[in-house]
Amino acid sequence: MSKVMLSEGHVTPDSPISVQLIKNHHPNARPIVVITWPSHVTEVSPVKLGEVISNATRILANASTELARLDAAKKRQ
């Protein structure tokens, strides 16, 4: 099994999230994407909510972009 970090970051200073591509080396196994969210409640003021949403969106978008880049590189091989 191999793990590829697609993206990671913090939605708040104490709330990290990460997105990994997990490839199982069994012949019939499909790769999966694992999103690890904070294991605790994240409290923010209403004023900071937009920033938190922006951070989460950026991290997830970066993961999507990295996965597309990896797929394109694989097709060129």
pLDDT in tens, 34-62: 999 988 898 999 999 999 999 999 999 99
Q: Cα–Cα distance between 4 and 17 in angstroms, integer?
A: 15
pTM: 0.87
Greater model confidence, 64 or 28: 64
Domain, as residue range, for 61: 2-76
Task: Indicate the number of domains in the chain.
Answer: 1
- Residue 29 — very low, low, confident or very high, per pLDDT cuts 50/70/90? confident
Q: Cα–Cα distance between 51 and 29 in angstroms, integer?
A: 38
Radius of gyration of the chain (CA): 15
CA 67-9-55 angle, to 5 degrees, is: 95
